Every structure is written in structure tokens, then in C-alpha cells.
């Protein structure tokens, strides 16, 4: 993935996997379940799956049994497919099983979203990210050096910009 495409994780690639976030749904960052608008049954199943992950690991983060590891991986496949079906074909859902199984190819629904509220929740986040990226590109285009624009603000109110260094 080239440098211009890492933002796909904000606009079209949804990750499903536990990682000490507020949910197992990641769209750049963990997305709280209430913001996903996924069905209550699917959220319940995702929550139980995450609990299985943490119960299934010992203090050294190794699986307590091969059976638990396999169940976690297979359940992850089923849940990733269910997420894909709810949010629809404009999104790619990738399972991160954290080594429980070899992660399968991405899931992309071949039918329209079965949950229009969830599809719209993800579409809204994607539109917002695209708008942010477009704004960043405009700012960079206006900057004569082409480098990212950032600044530091001191408590006194002074503003330091890296492009001002030569002028100091």
C-alpha cells in the first residue's frame, strides 16, 4: 500500500479483532459499538468473541488450548462475514485473529447492506476522513515547501512554525 493509500483504513477497510480498545471494530481507531449502529445481536456476539479471546489466553498471552484458539478463529471468520453483510459492499472487512488462525482474505459483501443504519455510520466516518484528507492536501499545496504544516504554541502565546526556522 503506497503512502497515499494508508488512509484506506479510515475510508473503506474495517478491521475486526481484539486489541484493548473499546470494541473489536476498528476503522482507523476502535469504534465504540454504539457508534457502529451494528445490530444488537451482532454487537452481543462480537462482545462475547472478545471475551473468549481474553479468557482463552494465559498470563503469557498464549492460548490455554488449541480448541479455544480454533474456536476463536472460526468465530472470527463468521463475525467478520456478518459485519461485512451489515455494512455492505463499499467496505472491505479484514479479520485480525492475532495468530489464532491464518487470517482469511478480506470479506466484501456481494449484496447491499442488510443494516442501513450501520452502513450509514461507516459511510459518515469515511466521508469525514475523506474531507479531512482533502483539507490536508489543500493546505500542503498552499505551502511552498510541500512539507506538512504544523506549529507549536507556547504558554506565552508565541507560535513556532518549522518553516520559520530560517527566519529566526
Domain ranges in the chain are 8-130
The predicted pLDDT at position 129 comes to 84
Q: How many CB atoms lie within 10 A of CB 20?
A: 7
Residue 155 has pLDDT above 60, yes or no: yes
Strand pairing report for 29-30 and 92-95: unpaired
**Which residue do the cell numbers 502565546 mark?**
157
Residue 168 is predicted with a pLDDT of: 43
Q: How many CA atoms lie within 13 A of 49 on its CB side?
A: 29
- 114 touches 124 (CB < 8 A): no
Give the residue, 131 or 79, on which the prediction is more confident.
79
- In this structure, of 24-33, 73-82, 83-92, 140-149, the range with the lowest mean pLDDT score is 140-149
Q: What is the pLDDT of residue 3?
A: 45
- Which element (helix H / strand E) includes 56? helix 40-56
* Cβ-contact 31, 25 below 8 angstroms: yes
Secondary structure (3-state) at 93: strand
Bigger pLDDT: 80 vs 147: 80
The pLDDT value recorded for residue 145 is 57
In this prediction, residue 10 carries a pLDDT of 67
pLDDT of 149 higher than 70: no
Q: Confirm whether pTM is higher than 0.85.
A: no
Q: Are 118 and 147 in contact (CB under 8 A)?
A: no
Q: pLDDT tens digit string along 4-54?
A: 554 665 678 999 999 888 899 998 889 999 999 999 999 999 999 999 999
The CA distance from 104 to 76, in Å, is 10
| pLDDT tens column, 88-125 | 999 999 999 988 889 999 999 999 999 999 999 999 99
Mean pLDDT lowest among 60-69, 93-102, 126-135, 151-160: 151-160
Amino acid at each position: 500500500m503506497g503512502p497515499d493509500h494508508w488512509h484506506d483504513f479510515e475510508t473503506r477497510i474495517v478491521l475486526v479483532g481484539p486489541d484493548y480498545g473499546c470494541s473489536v471494530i476498528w476503522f482507523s481507531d476502535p469504534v465504540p459499538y454504539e457508534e457502529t449502529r451494528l445490530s444488537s445481536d451482532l454487537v452481543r456476539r462480537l462482545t462475547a468473541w472478545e471475551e473468549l479471546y481474553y479468557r482463552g489466553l494465559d498470563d503469557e498471552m498464549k492460548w490455554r488450548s488449541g480448541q479455544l484458539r480454533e474456536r476463536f478463529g472460526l468465530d472470527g471468520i463468521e463475525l467478520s462475514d456478518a459485519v461485512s453483510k451489515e455494512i455492505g459492499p463499499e467496505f472491505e472487512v479484514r479479520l485480525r485473529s492475532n495468530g489464532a488462525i491464518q487470517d482469511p482474505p478480506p470479506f466484501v459483501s456481494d449484496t447491499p447492506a442488510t443494516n442501513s443504519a450501520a452502513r450509514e455510520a461507516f459511510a459518515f466516518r469515511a466521508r469525514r476522513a475523506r474531507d479531512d484528507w482533502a483539507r490536508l492536501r489543500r493546505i500542503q499545496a498552499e505551502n511552498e515547501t510541500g512539507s506538512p504544516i504544523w506549529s507549536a504554541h507556547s504558554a506565552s502565546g508565541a507560535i513556532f512554525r518549522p518553516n520559520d526556522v530560517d527566519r529566526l
